[in-house]
Amino acid sequence: MKAAAVGGGIKAVFVIDSEGREVGTAVSEISRHFKELKDRFRVVVVVPRHEAWLCIGLGFDAARCRNSPEHVLSMERGRYEKRHLAEWVREIDVERLMWEGDFIDYVAALRWLSDP
């Protein structure tokens, strides 16, 4: 992808988990690999993991979901496994995520991606 993007008009959005790192550190870890792309990529960091968006979108308490999303999902829906991320996402209410800072960043990145 990097070679194609350097030579063309490709734009990219990377959505990564913070995994306990500071957002700036997480962004830097990705950005250092794509320095030559400069303004043609964005990095969105989900705090702490994508499971937080799933948990909040399913209607559970945002603070609890940010602290320990897998635990909340397991307590509320039964044992959580990574495969549930793809299965349960169909049930989320995106409106619940529209107030979450990292999700707002994600929507902004998608808008940027769709701009010519």
Average pLDDT over residues 59-76: 97
Q: What is the mean pLDDT of the chain?
A: 92
- For residue 2, pLDDT beyond 80: no
Sign of CA dihedral 72, 51, 66, 101: negative
Domain ranges of the chain: 2-114
β-partners of residue 17 are 46
Over residues 44-66, the pLDDT tens digits come to 999 999 999 999 999 999 999 99
Model-level pTM?
0.85
